Amino acid sequence: MVREIVASAPGKVNLHLGVGEARADGYHDLVSVFHAVDRRETVRLAVVGEPGAGPVVESMRTTFFVDRPGEDIDGPKNLAWRAVEAVAARAGVALPKVRIEVDKRVFVAGGMAGGSADAAAALVAANALAAEYGAALPPEALHEFAASLGADVPFALAGGTALGTGRGDELAPMLSRGRLHWVFVNPKIGIPTGEAFSLLDDLRHTNPALVPHLNTAELSQALTAGDATRVAAALHNDLEAPALQMRPVLRGLLEAAGEAGRRAVVSGSGPTVAVLCDDAEHARWAAEHLAAEFDGAEVFVAEGPDGGAVVERVC
């Protein structure tokens, strides 16, 4: 009988993030180009009890390979916890009690969808557990759960490079040739995502230049050509303006990162800055340079595109 299932899912960077008008449901229409990177979250489901009624998750523990947040994230509100319970509820059979163990390597609340990656990895791990009891769910059910958990979870499930529309959860794969090399710098000056979107709405009332950027044709052509120079020129994030207004210290980081790499942008709603570099050697140099210049910031190197959520081991 299975005792442990191990799965992983990637962090992401938005190569393009265009924010449309606010919708009646409180969300904004988005046009986003997601790019998965090989900085992956790992989720283990350890079987600790026999099948029975009631909740499946007995406990959760996160091991941090990035800075630990101030609050405890190991509880029923965690996306990974919710993902496992969602699969168990749909499976229609009693599943054994499990402990969730997460190895966290993506910045917490850093704009790289680390929590969404945890959820995606937990979904495929829980589905593998359900399969051991003859109750595996189809891919469309996992996508449905992913979208219900968060707008970035479906992409963490899929990986690669993809165009996201709607809330960002309606995905279409994009052709991307070659590898992109990145440095990610987290200055640890949290930016609440909802506040960033609200501020963008306010800024647009007074600054007509902040129109929604919803055309990804130039970026798509650059990715298809595998031309990193053209990709760098096409990077864009509508949320960068509110991020800079909310945290002016980001301006200095963006300037220094842009000088160290080929191009630097705020990742998602921030505060992480993504730095596109020429190659792996350039990325390693830029990471060392930026870590020395911005003492206390978290810095790591990654490349993409990377695959989506996958079960790595069942034992």
By annotation, the residues acting in catalysis are 12, 152
> Alpha carbon of 208 to those of 198, 205, 240: distances in Å?
16, 7, 16
Q: Contact at 8 Å (CB) between 226 and 232?
A: no
Query: Measured between alpha carbons, how far is residue 47 from residues 3, 61, 310 in Å?
Result: 5, 14, 19
Nearest alpha-carbon partner for 9 in 309, 313, 312, 311? 309
Single out the residue of 173, 176, 172, 120 nearest to residue 148, CA to CA: 120
Phi, psi of 205 (to 5 degrees): -70, -25
C-alpha span between 223 and 16 (Å, rounded): 12
In the chain, where does DSSP find H-type helix? Answer: 79-91, 114-132, 139-149, 153-158, 193-206, 217-225, 228-234, 240-246, 250-260, 280-293
- How far CA 151 is from CA of 34, 65, 113, 165, 190, in Å, comes to 12, 25, 10, 10, 20
